[in-house]
Structure 1
Amino acid sequence: MSVSGLCQICESRPAQQRCGNCGTLTCLQHYERDKGLCADCAAQAQPSPDRDDVDVHRF
């Protein structure tokens, strides 16, 4: 993916990815490649701790 500018999370490294959820431009350090999400969205997508019997994610 071709992106340009600075990471919108750390604002210091070149952006190399775009979040598949919110569109935030991120550097590789703030991008969860396996999820296709920025660090902020990936943190919000953690499984709900009170529901360990199903695979549910919160956004």
Structure 2
Amino acid sequence: MFSLFKSNPIKKLNKQLSRKLEEAMNAQRNGNIRLYSQLSYEAQEIEKQLIIIEKQQNK
């Protein structure tokens, strides 16, 4: 009944992932390769978390 008001972790992680990828793209365009690498790594970690949560919900 109250599941309507629960936050969706998949939606939240997808939003974080798209934000990190956009920040990484902007860093790359500005020539800041070190920041681009860091943001890409963080995006990969978010993607790993997303995959784990999706697997848990599909069980």
TM-score, normalization: structure 1? 0.27
Flag the structure with higher strand content: 1
Which fold has the larger relative contact order, with Cα–Cα distance below 8 Å and residues 6 or more apart in sequence? 2
TM-score, normalization: structure 2? 0.27
Structure index of larger Rg: 2
